Amino acid sequence: METPSCQCRPSYDDCKKTAEWLLAQIKQRPKVAIICGSGLGGLADLIDDKIVFPYKDIPDFPTSTVAGHAGQLVFGKLQGRDCVCMKGRFHFYEGYSLHTVTYPVRVFFLLGVETLIVTNAAGGLNGSYNVGDIMLIKDHINLPGFGGQSPLVGHNDDRFGVRFPCMSDAYDRNLRALAIQAAHEENCGSFLQEGVYCMVGGPTYETIAESNMLQKFGADAVGMSTVPEVVTARHCGLRVLGLSLITNKAVTDYDSNEKANHEEVLATTNVRAGDLQRLVRNLVTKV
167 has catalytic annotation: no
- Residue 2 falls inside a structural domain: no
38 has catalytic annotation: yes
pLDDT, residue 1, reads 33
Please compute the mean of the pLDDT values over residues 136-157 and round it to a whole number. 96
- Residue 184 falls inside a structural domain: yes
Please compute the mean of the pLDDT values over residues 38-52 and round it to a whole number. 87
206 has catalytic annotation: no
pLDDT tens, residue by residue, 61-72? 988 766 655 789
Number of domains making up the chain = 1
Task: Tell which residue, 84, 66, 34, 42, has the closest CA to residue 273.
Answer: 42
- Residue 256 falls inside a structural domain: yes
- Residue 78 falls inside a structural domain: yes
pLDDT tens, residue by residue, 227-252? 999 999 999 999 999 999 999 999 88
The length of the chain, given as a count of residues? 287
Q: In angstroms, rounded to a whole number, what is the distance separating the alpha carbons of residues 176 and 284? A: 12
pLDDT, residue 258, reads 82
pLDDT tens, residue by residue, 158-214? 999 999 999 999 999 999 999 999 999 999 999 999 999 999 999 999 999 999 999
* Residues 39 and 273 sit within 8 Å (Cβ to Cβ): yes
- Residue 7 falls inside a structural domain: no
Select which of 120, 126, 142, 225 is catalytic. 225
262 has catalytic annotation: yes
pLDDT, residue 2, reads 40
CATH of the domain at 270: 3.40.50.1580
Q: In angstroms, rounded to a whole number, what is the distance separating the alpha carbons of residues 148 and 171? A: 22
44 has catalytic annotation: no
- Residue 6 falls inside a structural domain: no
* Residues 129 and 249 sit within 8 Å (Cβ to Cβ): yes
Select which of 55, 86, 91, 140 is catalytic. 91
93 has catalytic annotation: yes
* Residues 221 and 139 sit within 8 Å (Cβ to Cβ): no
91 has catalytic annotation: yes
* Residues 255 and 264 sit within 8 Å (Cβ to Cβ): no
- Residue 1 falls inside a structural domain: no
Predicted TM-score (pTM) of this structure: 0.93
Q: In angstroms, rounded to a whole number, what is the distance separating the alpha carbons of residues 63 and 181? A: 35
Select which of 121, 170, 219, 250 is catalytic. 121
Through-space distance between the first and last CA atoms of the chain, rounded to whole angstroms: 41
- Residue 91 falls inside a structural domain: yes
Please give the residue range of the domain that contains residue 270.
12-286
